[in-house]
């Protein structure tokens, strides 16, 4: 979930929403509520980086 927050720093709101909006909304409203606060805190402590998120994007979108 760091990539959308970082994206807000480097792109305008419309571009950021277009790139991350649907995934962010799905995670926030459909996935995260299924976990307890303790599970979410643990995941935050041991999370890997968001580097894999960019691997699924088309190369021309990374310019």
pLDDT of the chain along its 63 residues, tens only?
566 666 667 788 888 888 888 888 898 999 999 999 999 999 989 987 765 555 556 666 655
* Residue partners of 11: CB distance under 8 A and separation at least 6: 19
Q: Which domain holds residue 47?
A: 2-52
Q: How far apart are CA 11 and CA 5, in angstroms?
A: 10
Domain count, the chain: 1
- The answer to whether position 59 is within a domain reads no
Q: How far apart are CA 41 and CA 38, in angstroms?
A: 5
* pTM of the full structure: 0.54
Q: How many CB atoms within 10 Å of residue 16?
A: 19
- The answer to whether position 62 is within a domain reads no
Ranges of H-type helices in 11-55: 13-26, 37-46, 51-55
Q: How far apart are CA 56 and CA 15, in angstroms?
A: 17
């Amino acid at each position: 979930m760091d990539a959308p927050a970082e994206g807000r720093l480097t792109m305008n709101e419309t571009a950021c929403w277009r790139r991350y909006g649907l995934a962010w909304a799905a995670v926030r409203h459909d996935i995260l509520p299924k976990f307890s606060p303790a599970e979410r805190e643990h995941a935050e402590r041991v999370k890997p980086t968001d580097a894999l998120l960019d691997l699924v994007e088309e190369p021309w979108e990374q310019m």
